[in-house]
Chains A and B, each alone.
Chain A
Amino acid sequence: MKKFTGSSDYVASKELMNAVNVAMALEKPLLIKGEPGTGKTMLAEAIAEALDMKLIIWGIKSTTKAQEGLYVYDTVQRLYDSQFGEGDVADISQYIKLGKLGEAFTSDEQVVLLIDEIDKADLEFPNDLLWELDRMEFYINETKKTVKTKHRPIVIITSNAEKELPDAFLRRCIFHYIEFPDQEKMEEIIRVHYGDIDKKLVDAAMKAFYDIRAMRQIQKRPSTSELLDWIQALRISGIDIKRIGSEIPYIGVLLKKNQDIDVVKDYRNVY
């Protein structure tokens, strides 16, 4: 059996790799939750890359319906065709357009299916997919055909905890919560992105970063991607490392809210 061990530009914790492998072995969807910027979406990309599989992404919006993931029956096109005498109207199957889930099911090779931000959709949405994700098949009413998977896709589902997911759905998933990376892990992530970067710069930047995250009044705490951007900015500007901690240059890269920037400034004045 194939095993996931992280990829060249994605640093996965041991627990996360375990979770992925457990989900793959048990053939169950893996539900990933975590703070923004902990790399939930990137995980699926990394798995696809590491296992050399195609990645199919189904991005969920508030208006997405479960049915759209399976197939859509284009009645309007058929009606047009019948009125204008185009196409073979008797052949319904050509008006059945497979959705992302359908695409993953019918693929000739095993694929990675990412259902991104499932909590964005309606509260009932996950329940509508139970059968399909369980049995990995669905029935097309119009053509009286059952679509079955040839190779069970690896299903990764991400959630931002915007809505609570239904219990019945949760019971069928393997669950993993991605913790915000600690300093050690963060250093590893930075190395993956910037290679041989000056250790002193990284240390100074990380100290400032974790200090800011620890401030209680901060409303939107900076995440990994913001730290990476910030380090890039610091590196390019060639700023004196000693000034990083005391002045926090380019603070706008880290913090996106004026109030938060004020909070950090206040702190600096006090201490």
Chain B
Amino acid sequence: MFIDFFYLLRARGLEISLDEWLCLIEALDKGLADNSLIEFYYLCRNVLVKTEADYDKFDLAFAEYFQGIQTVEDIPEELWNWLNQDELERDIMDKPDWAKEYSLDELKKMFEERLAEQKEKHDGGNYWVGTGGTSPFGHGGYNPAGVRIGGESRHKSAVKVAGERNFRDFRQDNSLDIRQFQMAFRKLREFSTRVDSSRTELDIDETIDATSSNAGMLKLVYEKPRKNTVKLLLLMDSDGSMREYSRLCSQLFQAVNQSTHLKDLKTYYFHNCVYDYLFTTPECRRGKWVDTDWVFGNLDSEYKVIFVGDAAMSPYELMSEGGNLDWDVYNSEPGIEWLRKFTKRYKKCIWLNPVREERWKWAWGARTIKMVGEVFPMYELTLDGLDKGIKKLL
């Protein structure tokens, strides 16, 4: 039964509703798949998949379902009926004149040879197996000489398109663009009316009540506006090893900066690890800094702290006194102590690491990644990781 496909898609994590499935059936009944598996592939994707983030999952599931299909006979009968609606058995003599010169066996042989020769998808042209061309093999238009032979290649090419996985980059677990980061940051909110502000918003319900009890004479009631109370301290590593992630970090930075809903946002920079000073500019120049103790003193414990860095450094930078990489600045306490101070001062701290989680154990700096990860909950800097991290912050 073709319904297998529905369950396979759902099993592969695509949240397809019955409505959408019925819609697909309706579309097939209307003949919108145009008798070809590739059109069927696009039709399914249009109707069933509603975000580009799921295109890759769909491609994988589609390839899985149709992979084993070598010949027409393997296609589930129900689906085959749809694909074949108005072009069932075409007379073998119903083919272009040039094709009549070949016997069916010759055509078949040619087809096999050509398929073996062909390495990639072809659209247009008159030789390769593909779509929209005048080659005897493929689909698109109604000319293919051997419909059934062409049929085989149609099915292959759809699986092939699915197999190309062109949308791998859009998966949710990939790092994505600034808008999506912004969406994640919107979740960072704790509303409260108990902020120290004046009563400025008209409370309509209360006004109606008050006016009614005032015998219809208008009486206005105001209330305090609900406001986000989240304050954020963002600390970003701007060391050389972070350069390869610069775009990602800058997207994150922009997203945070444009998150106007935060009550307060402070950003400082550091070089591999935090010591006595925090830099105020990403260049990390001498003098353009504030004492870390000043930050502790002036930013209260309500601040939520996000560290962004690869946490990859030499162990002595983290563990020894004077381990600071900047040669003329001595630190009397090792970096790891400074990091621990943060967890003591601030209740909610997380570390976002642009290095993918699966590489943390193997990447350069794995030792320090592990050590930093023991101090802070560490998440990879992707949409999923950021989501998890923000949940941790709330």
Which residues of the other chain, B, contact A177 by a CB distance below 8 angstroms?
52, 55, 167, 170
Identify which of B40-48, B231-239, B316-324 touches chain A. B40-48
B219 at the interface (CB under 8 A from A): no
Task: Check A18 against B183 for contact (C-beta < 8 Å).
Answer: no
Task: Check A18 against B42 for contact (C-beta < 8 Å).
Answer: yes
A21 at the interface (CB under 8 A from B): yes
Task: Check A18 against B27 for contact (C-beta < 8 Å).
Answer: no
A160 at the interface (CB under 8 A from B): yes
Task: Check A25 against B30 for contact (C-beta < 8 Å).
Answer: yes
B332 at the interface (CB under 8 A from A): no
Task: Check A22 against B17 for contact (C-beta < 8 Å).
Answer: no
Which residues of the other chain, B, contact A217 by a CB distance below 8 angstroms?
246-247
Interface residues of A in 18-71 (CB under 8 A from B): 18-19, 21-23, 25-26, 28, 31, 33
Task: Check A174 against B42 for contact (C-beta < 8 Å).
Answer: no
Once the chains are docked, how many angstroms separate the CA of A33 from the CA of B49?
Answer: 12
Task: Check A219 against B19 for contact (C-beta < 8 Å).
Answer: no
Task: Check A22 against B52 for contact (C-beta < 8 Å).
Answer: no
Which residues of the other chain, B, contact A163 by a CB distance below 8 angstroms?
183
Given contacts A217-B246, A219-B247, contact A22 B46 (CB under 8 A): yes
Once the chains are docked, how many angstroms separate the CA of A120 from the CA of B182?
Answer: 13
B50 at the interface (CB under 8 A from A): yes
Out of A15, A171, A219, name the residue touching B20 (CB < 8 Å).
A171
- Which residue of the partner chain A has the closest CB to B26? A26
Out of A22, A176, A216, name the residue touching B32 (CB < 8 Å).
A22
Closest chain B CB from A145 CB (angstroms): 29
Which residues of the other chain, A, contact B328 by a CB distance below 8 angstroms?
none
A173 at the interface (CB under 8 A from B): yes
Which residues of the other chain, B, contact A21 by a CB distance below 8 angstroms?
32
- Which residue of the partner chain B has the closest CB to A18? B42
Task: Check A19 against B42 for contact (C-beta < 8 Å).
Answer: yes
Closest chain B CB from A69 CB (angstroms): 22
- Digit string of A161-176 for contact with B (CB within 8 Å is 1, else 0)? 1111001001111111
Given contacts A18-B42, A160-B179, A177-B55, contact A218 B166 (CB under 8 A): no
- Which residue of the partner chain B has the closest CB to A31? B50
- Digit string of B18-54 for contact with A (CB within 8 Å is 1, else 0)? 0110010011001010000001001100110111100
B250 at the interface (CB under 8 A from A): yes
Closest chain B CB from A215 CB (angstroms): 9
Once the chains are docked, how many angstroms separate the CA of A86 from the CA of B342?
Answer: 71
Out of A171, A175, A218, name the residue touching B17 (CB < 8 Å).
A171
Which residues of the other chain, B, contact A171 by a CB distance below 8 angstroms?
17, 19-20, 50
Once the chains are docked, how many angstroms separate the CA of A173 from the CA of B49?
Answer: 10
Task: Check A174 against B46 for contact (C-beta < 8 Å).
Answer: yes
Which residues of the other chain, A, contact B49 by a CB distance below 8 angstroms?
175
B205 at the interface (CB under 8 A from A): no
Given contacts A19-B42, A25-B32, A33-B52, contact A216 B47 (CB under 8 A): no
Task: Check A173 against B50 for contact (C-beta < 8 Å).
Answer: yes
Closest chain B CB from A243 CB (angstroms): 28
Out of B23, B123, B132, B182, name the residue touching A28 (CB < 8 Å).
B23
Which residues of the other chain, B, contact A176 by a CB distance below 8 angstroms?
46
Out of B17, B23, B55, B250, name the residue touching A26 (CB < 8 Å).
B23
Once the chains are docked, how many angstroms separate the CA of A170 from the CA of B46?
Answer: 11
B244 at the interface (CB under 8 A from A): yes
Once the chains are docked, how many angstroms separate the CA of A23 from the CA of B182?
Answer: 31
- Which residue of the partner chain B has the closest CB to A177? B52
A242 at the interface (CB under 8 A from B): no
Which residues of the other chain, A, contact B43 by a CB distance below 8 angstroms?
18, 22
Which residues of the other chain, A, contact B19 by a CB distance below 8 angstroms?
171-172
Closest chain A CB from B17 CB (angstroms): 5
Task: Check B50 against A170 for contact (C-beta < 8 Å).
Answer: yes
Task: Check B51 against A175 for contact (C-beta < 8 Å).
Answer: yes
- Which residue of the partner chain B has the closest CB to A21? B32
Task: Check A174 against B47 for contact (C-beta < 8 Å).
Answer: yes
Which residues of the other chain, A, contact B39 by a CB distance below 8 angstroms?
18
A179 at the interface (CB under 8 A from B): yes
Closest chain B CB from A21 CB (angstroms): 7
Which residues of the other chain, A, contact B244 by a CB distance below 8 angstroms?
216
Given contacts A22-B43, A173-B50, contact A164 B183 (CB under 8 A): yes
Which residues of the other chain, A, contact B123 by a CB distance below 8 angstroms?
14
Once the chains are docked, how many angstroms separate the CA of A31 from the CA of B49?
Answer: 11
Q: Give the interface centre of A14, A22, A33, A167 by most chain B CB atoms within 10 Å.
A: A22
Which residues of the other chain, B, contact A14 by a CB distance below 8 angstroms?
123, 131-132
B241 at the interface (CB under 8 A from A): no
Task: Check B47 against A22 for contact (C-beta < 8 Å).
Answer: yes
Which residues of the other chain, B, contact A170 by a CB distance below 8 angstroms?
50-51
Interface residues of A in 209-225 (CB under 8 A from B): 216-219
Closest chain A CB from B58 CB (angstroms): 11
Which residues of the other chain, A, contact B183 by a CB distance below 8 angstroms?
162-164
Once the chains are docked, how many angstroms separate the CA of A18 from the CA of B38?
Answer: 11
A-B contact pairs, 21 of them (CB 8 A): A15-B42, A18-B42, A22-B46, A23-B46, A25-B27, A26-B23, A26-B30, A26-B32, A31-B50, A160-B179, A161-B180, A162-B183, A167-B15, A170-B51, A171-B17, A172-B19, A175-B46, A177-B52, A177-B167, A216-B244, A216-B247
Q: Which 8 A-B pairs have the closest CB atoms?
A: A170-B50, A177-B52, A175-B50, A19-B46, A174-B46, A18-B42, A162-B179, A15-B42
Q: Which residues of A contact B (CB under 8 A)?
A: 14-15, 18-19, 21-23, 25-26, 28, 31, 33, 160-164, 167, 170-177, 179, 216-219
